[in-house]
Amino acid sequence: MSKNQRILVVEPDLDKVQSIIDALTEGGWPNVRALAQVSSLQRTIKEFAPDIVLIDMANPDRDTLEHVIMVTDTQSRAVALFVDRTDEELTQAALGAGVSAYVVDGLQMHRIKPVLDTAIARFQMMRKMRSELDAAKQALEDRKTIDRAKGFLMRQRGMSEDEAYTLLRQTAMGQGRKIIDVAQALVTAADLLG
């Protein structure tokens, strides 16, 4: 990820905000916007569309944490959450919701760059894993659909499995379509004919 990324800092202490912005600028992230109130988070995310959200919460409670996680959309952007204290339940809730970095003992300026670098790397890794999982699920669904189409052809035309697959493949090639599209059309038609 590039250093041109937009970073949203959620921090109520104005003096601390300036220190955070300075640390981010020194770390190579000049495109920063600060927000003092968590209540404005959803609107600001919609307007600013940050790539990274850095949140400093002194004493989070579960409701606030859940709201922040829901609003920040951890599948669309890296979220680094700094807290002064935590318990096992809050930690599990944050990590389970996809927070990229969950740092206890508060925000310390010298830790911002390495924590954000780690958060970005973890976010990219999780995004890649989700993408691969989605692709694997889709491939499995496609395989099931193709198998159903082959089964229909085998029953209706008395074909072997190889012959049914060959017919699906030839039909797809002849129509300039993918095999899965032809198989889906056949399965839909078979379901209608019932």
Structure tokens at 122: 């973890």
For residue 176, give the CATH number of its domain: 1.10.10.10
Predicted confidence at residue 3, as pLDDT, reads 67
Least confident range of 82-91, 154-163, 171-180? 82-91
State how many domains the chain has.
Answer: 2
Q: Band of the pLDDT at 91, cuts 50, 70, 90?
A: confident
pTM: 0.69
Last residue of a domain, one of 107, 123, 157: 107
Using the predicted structure, report yes or no on whether residue 74 has a pLDDT greater than 90.
no
Q: Are residues 97 and 151 in the same domain?
A: no
Q: Are residues 14 and 78 in the same domain?
A: yes
Q: Is 98 left (phi over 0), alpha (psi -120 to 50) or beta?
A: left
Q: Are residues 22 and 65 in the same domain?
A: yes
Q: Between 37 and 134, where is the model more confident?
A: 134
Q: Are residues 176 and 99 in the same domain?
A: no
Nearest to 52 by CA among 94, 19, 22, 8: 8
Residue range(s) defining the domain that contains residue 151: 134-193
Q: Band of the pLDDT at 69, cuts 50, 70, 90?
A: confident
Using the predicted structure, report yes or no on whether residue 89 has a pLDDT greater than 80.
yes
Predicted confidence at residue 2, as pLDDT, reads 60
Cβ pair 1, 51 in contact under 8 A? yes
Q: Are residues 178 and 86 in the same domain?
A: no
Q: Are residues 102 and 21 in the same domain?
A: yes
Q: Are residues 18 and 82 in the same domain?
A: yes
For the chain, give the mean pLDDT.
Answer: 87
Q: Between 92 and 171, where is the model more confident?
A: 171
For residue 54, give the CATH number of its domain: 3.40.50.2300
Residue 33 belongs to a domain? yes
**Distant-in-sequence, close-in-space partners of 87: CB < 8 Å, separation ≥ 6:** none
Q: Are residues 76 and 166 in the same domain?
A: no
- pLDDT tens for each residue of 153-170: 999 999 999 999 999 999
Phi/psi of residue 33, each to 5°? -125, 140
Least confident range of 70-74, 134-138, 156-160, 190-194? 70-74
Residue 1 belongs to a domain? no
